[in-house]
Amino acid sequence: MLFTPITIRGVTIRNRIMLSPMNQHRAHDGFADDSLLVHLGKFALGGFGIIMTEATAIERNGRVAHGDLGIWADEHIPGLRRVCNYLRNMGATPGVQLAHSGRKGASQRPWQGFGPLNETDAKRGEPPWPLVSPTREALGPGHVVPEQLSLDGIDDVLRSYANAAARADAAGFDIIEVHAGHGYLIASFLSPVINTRNDEYGGDFAGRIRFALKVAEAVRSHWPQHKPLIFRLSSVDGHPEGWKIEDSVNLARELKRCGVDIIDCSSGGLRQSTALENAKRYPGYQVTYASQIKREAGIATVAVGLILDGRQAEQVLNEQHADFVAIGRQALYDPFWAHHAAQEFGIDPNFESWDVSAGWWLAKRKDGLAEIGLNGAGKVERSLRERTDAMRDR
């Protein structure tokens, strides 16, 4: 199933492999440049079906860190269009993840410590900025205390989501994923731990999911009906009094009614880390969330988290746990993960699914290796010394 094409609404995707969104923090003022083209382009060359951008801020103050990709201005469209055109020309389906950091913004890049921006950061030209959240609770000591969103402020953010969706269409993206997990703005509204509002956007479950549903409606209203819409959720947040898998199932049912087609099933991130707090990690540790949401909410899902090789991914799909697998850090390690999985299954022995300029050379490489007793993966059929000696004796 991994390499079976699938059509969602009016978009056909060449396989079930999605590049998981991973922040690179290389943009300048939100603009897509050559680094993004090269970064995402290698995964299109590597055979991935859906190429999802990193978290792309719908507002300047909705960035996680300096260097975030942006879609808050029309000026961002041409650079994003250039990336989309290349990905599509390579056979991939371009997707954009729309994001708002909420109280987790104004942070350092992960490799700088992921703490709050401080005076040292400001002196080198990277100061903090104002944040918004459901309440005035800061992420942690030293972090910017967010402004509590008023009803008018919520309406402004909803308009920003709608406008970002329109820009995504203008740029040529075929899929939108709304980031509603990992403790960012939408997830903060969902959380019974963070969202202590007593108005229509807080309180009981119906109140806490209201913002997420309105985001879905705003995006769908400005996103063509033939294009799919994904929501990424933290299926559970790991807090004993927090968001549970049953909440995700119930939210997924409501999102489906709002025009959402797929749920991307991650977890954790209520506090600073995007990881599930106190979770034991093992290959496919989040697959059960995708399976339960798919089964009980009746919606397509993406399984993500320590999916390491093609056979593991194939098992996830064959056992009906999910409709797609998302590959993240493993893709950074091996940008040709999808092609290598096809080689592993023996379904592309002659490299025909690769870009022709690479596939031709790789087929020649395979033939050349066979002539000297090596198979296509470079494994020695008999010792290299023995083979070399035999060739010398000819």
Structure tokens of 268?
A: 């954790």
Percent of the chain with pLDDT over 70: 93
Residues 106 and 119 in one domain: yes
Instruction: Give the number of other Cβ atoms within 10 Å of residue 143's Cβ.
Output: 20
Indicate which residues carry an active-site annotation: 184
Q: Are residues 308 and 362 in the same domain?
A: no
Residue with tokens 């090789």: 309
Residues 239, 343: one domain? yes
Same domain? For 294 and 366 the reply is no
* Whether the Cβ atoms of residue 261 and residue 224 lie closer than 8 Å to each other: no
Could you read off the pLDDT of 85-109 as tens digits, one per residue?
999 999 999 999 999 999 999 999 9
Q: Give pLDDT, residue 388.
A: 44
> Hey, what are 258's tokens?
């709002």
CA 210 to chain centre: 23
- Position with higher pLDDT, 238 vs 332: 332
Q: 80 lies in a domain?
A: yes
pLDDT at 317: 98
Amino acid making up residue 34: D
Question: Strand 93-99 to strand 50-57: parallel, antiparallel, or no bridges (unpaired)?
Answer: parallel
**CATH code for position 68:** 3.20.20.70
Cα-based distances in Å from 192 to 197, 239, 320: 10, 10, 31
Question: How many domains does the chain fold into?
Answer: 2
Q: 234: how many CB neighbours lie within 10 A of its CB? A: 28
Q: Containing domain of residue 383, as a range? A: 351-394
Q: Measured in whole angstroms, how far is the alpha carbon of residue 173 from the centre of its chain?
A: 14
Output the six-digit token pair for 82: 């250039």
| 291 and 382 part of one domain | no
Q: What pLDDT score was predicted for residue 276?
A: 52
1, part of any domain:
no
Distance of alpha carbon 216 from alpha carbon 261, whole angstroms:
11
- What integer is the mean pLDDT of 184-209? 98
Helix (H, G, I), strand (E, B) or coil at 16: coil
Tell me how far apart the alpha carbons of residues 142 and 154 are, in angstroms, rounded to a whole number. 25
User: Do 384 and 343 lie in a common domain?
Assistant: no
Please measure the distance between the N-terminal and C-terminal CA atoms of the chain and give it in whole angstroms: 47
| pLDDT of 323 over the 80 cut | yes
CA distance to 12, 93, 121, 247, per residue, from 49 (Å)? 10, 6, 38, 30
Read off the pLDDT of residues 24-39 as tens digits, 9 standing for 90 and up.
Answer: 999 999 999 999 999 9
Supply the pLDDT for residue 121.
95
Asked whether the predicted pLDDT for residue 381 surpasses 90, the reply is no
Asked if the structure places residue 238 within a domain, the reply is yes
* Rg of the chain in Å (alpha carbons): 22
> pTM of whole model > 0.75?
yes
Q: Under 8 Å CB-to-CB from 393, ≥6 apart: which residues?
A: none
3-state SS string for 82-144: HHHHHHHHCCCEEEEEEECCHHHCCECCHHHCCCECCHHHHHCCCCCCCCEECCCCCCCCCCC
- Say yes or no: 372 and 281 in one domain: no
Q: Is 277 in the same domain as 385?
A: no
Q: Do 191 and 313 belong together in one domain?
A: yes
**The pLDDT of residue 376:** 61
Last residue of a domain, one of 313, 329, 348: 348
- Co-location of 330 and 388 in the same domain: no
Whether residue 392 sits in one domain with residue 297: no
User: Are 270 and 385 in a shared domain?
Assistant: no
